[in-house]
Amino acid sequence: MSFDKAKNNPEKKPGRLVENVLCMVLLLMLGIFLMIQIREGISMQEQLSASKQKHEAYQLQLNDLKSENDRLKEKNTLLSEQKDQLSENVLNEQGYSELAASLADIRELAGLTVVEGSGVTITLSDSTITDPSDSNQSSLIHSQDVQYIVDLLKSAGATAIAINGERIVCTTSIICTGPTIRVNNSRYPVPFVIMAVCDKNITYDILQNDPHILLRISEGVEIAFKKNDSLTIPAFSDSTVINSLSKELGGDKPS
């Protein structure tokens, strides 16, 4: 009906032509947009799947290496203990029992032996609440927090300390590396578990009443203390570090 009207009314023809052209342009543009979106989507999907694959492959390799590392460390500790025992046997056998005792003391002082005893365990974790206005990231545990507790434990008379199983020795530095901290060349994410063989009651009181720790707790980080009747602090066993230090500082070996 309207078509007939339009046919009969030539003045309306240009208006419809414009309408059709506009409609065509609109559809064309929509088509172009659709095509762009689809292409972008495909390309993003490809990129995502590539980075996901790469990421997963590295994560898998990392997990394998970590379990291999644990196994090697365990074997290393076992072999070191065997070697120490044999050294003692050799010295005692050859009548050097004093030397054997002295060697044991030196190794203990250096942190090269396993230490067992009562003490405390401190666990440090980031705050579970993230505050976007917290520009200083005070709700996160930093290497300085771990260092502070280690220094505090030393002041309290600890005889052996370990962070996530890493024994604190004379060369140990605690360094922040992104979301992890590096202790004795190994990196650890939160939570950080610090174990110390010490007087558990005195140390527990010192930790609980320390103003800096109380401040950090009030800032949201989680710091938990626990008294332990029996703790085992592993020995430092990285002979590369020991050899390198003796090479740099030792000069000539004694005869």
Partner 1 sequence: MKRKMSLSSGAIIVFFVFGLLIALQLKNINTSNLQAYYAKQDLTELQDQVMTLMRENSELSNQNQILSDLIASMGDELSGDNKSLQTIMDEKFKAEIFAGLTDVSGSGLQVVMEPGTDISVKASRLLLLVNELRSSGALAISVNDARIVAMTEIRDTGTANPQIVINGNSYPATSQFVIRAIYKKDDINRGLQLVNNLIEQLQTVSIITVSPSDTISISKLSEDSLTNRQI
List binders of partner 1 among 160-199 (CB under 8 A).
160-161, 168-175, 178, 185-187
Q: How near is the Cβ of 250 to partner 1 at its closest, in Å?
A: 5
Say if residue 216 is exposed, middle or buried (CB neighbours under 10 Å; 0-12, 13-18, 19+). Answer: buried
Question: Which lies closer to partner 1 via its Cβ, residue 41 or residue 191?
Answer: 41
Tokens representing 51 are: 């980075």
Question: Which lies closer to partner 1 via its Cβ, residue 128 or residue 240?
Answer: 240
Distance from C-alpha of 184 to C-alpha of 242, rounded to nearest angstrom: 12
Q: Which of residues 10-29 bind partner 1 (CB under 8 A)?
A: 23, 26-27
Tell me the window of 7-15, 66-74, 126-134, 220-228 that interacts with partner 1 (CB under 8 A). Answer: 66-74
Binding-residue pattern over the window 128 to 147 for partner 1, x denoting contact by CB under 8 A = -------------------x
Q: Which of residues 208-237 bind partner 1 (CB under 8 A)?
A: 237
Nearest to 118 by CA among 202, 196, 224: 196
Query: Are 152 and 84 within 8 A, CB to CB?
Result: no
Q: Provide the CA 253 distance to its chain's centre, in angstroms.
A: 39
Give the single-character DSSP code of 11.
Answer: G
Question: Which lies closer to partner 1 via its Cβ, residue 125 or residue 147?
Answer: 147
Q: Which of 17, 21, 44, 202 binds partner 1 (CB under 8 A)?
A: 44
Question: Which lies closer to partner 1 via its Cβ, residue 137 or residue 224?
Answer: 137
Residue 47 makes contact with partner 1 by CB under 8 A: yes
Query: Are 161 and 231 within 8 A, CB to CB?
Result: no
Residue 254 makes contact with partner 1 by CB under 8 A: yes
Distance from C-alpha of 103 to C-alpha of 83, rounded to nearest angstrom: 13
Q: Which of 76, 121, 138, 164 binds partner 1 (CB under 8 A)?
A: 76
Q: How near is the Cβ of 184 to partner 1 at its closest, in Å?
A: 11
Question: Which lies closer to partner 1 via its Cβ, residue 52 or residue 227?
Answer: 52
Question: Which lies closer to partner 1 via its Cβ, residue 176 or residue 217?
Answer: 176
Strands, E assignment, the chain: 115-125, 160-163, 166-167, 174-177, 180-183, 186-188, 192-197, 222-233
Neighbours of 111 (CB within 10 A): 22
Pairing label, strands 174-177, 186-188: unpaired
Count of positions on this chain that bind partner 1 (CB under 8 A) = 92
Distance from C-alpha of 241 to C-alpha of 186, rounded to nearest angstrom: 13
Tell me the window of 68-76, 117-125, 134-142, 226-234 that interacts with partner 1 (CB under 8 A). Answer: 68-76
Residue 207 makes contact with partner 1 by CB under 8 A: no
Question: Which lies closer to partner 1 via its Cβ, residue 25 or residue 224?
Answer: 25
